[in-house]
Amino acid sequence: MATKDLSAYDINSVPSAENMSFGIVVAEWNWEITSALAGGAIDTLKKHGAAEENITVKYVPGTFELPLGGQFFAEMANVDAVILLGCVIQGETRHFDYICEGVTQGTKDLNLKYNKPFIFGVLTTNDEQQALDRAGGKHGNKGDEAAVTAIKMVGLQRSF
């Protein structure tokens, strides 16, 4: 039961993931970074109690394919939440903008279509160093954050 006393609400509290199941979709592009995001997400799910057999990992070629990978989970697997992990690095062409637009809208659409958490774990950076800094480097690992968000959203859904 969530408290109405905001001063008592602990934003760092994470529900147990013991009875939760997760899909993870990982983009192969920028693999050094996306595999580090995936490692962080898996470790964090387990740290919060998720069982190994309740975590299913699938791969797609690039970040643009993440929403369809997520939709495959929604249509063909029975998981409580799906974490989408990718990394788009700004290049000299407009590709960056189109991929970011596609994956952002696609992920939003999945959330609302399936009434299920699809977590946006996509790094969109100016260069590779910024991405490495956020995939286990000096700014932490956004895969960990994506995992915590997934657990919190499943917990929220179950609280209604």
Exactly one of 95, 108, 113, 139 is catalytic; which is it?
95
Which residue in 24, 27, 37, 50 binds ligand DLZ (CB under 6 A)? 27
Catalytic site includes residue 139: no
State in angstroms the smallest separation of the CB of 153 from ligand DLZ.
23
Angle in degrees, 0-180, between the axes of helices 95-114 and 66-76, rounded to the nearest 10: 20
Closest alpha carbon to 45 in 65, 61, 23: 23
3: buried, middle or exposed (CB in 10 Å: 19+, 13-18, 0-12)? exposed
Q: Does 99 bind ligand DLZ (CB under 6 A)?
A: yes
Which residue in 57, 89, 114, 155 binds ligand DLZ (CB under 6 A)? 89
154: buried, middle or exposed (CB in 10 Å: 19+, 13-18, 0-12)? buried
How many Å apart are CA 160 and CA 115, to the nearest integer? Answer: 13
Q: Does 124 bind ligand DLZ (CB under 6 A)?
A: no
Which residue in 21, 54, 65, 117 binds ligand DLZ (CB under 6 A)? 65
Structure tokens at 88: 């788009």
Feature table: binding site: 29, 63-65, 87-89, 92-93, 120, 134
Instruction: Please give the residue ranges that form the binding site for ligand DLZ (CB under 6 A).
Output: 27, 29-30, 61-65, 86-89, 91, 95, 99
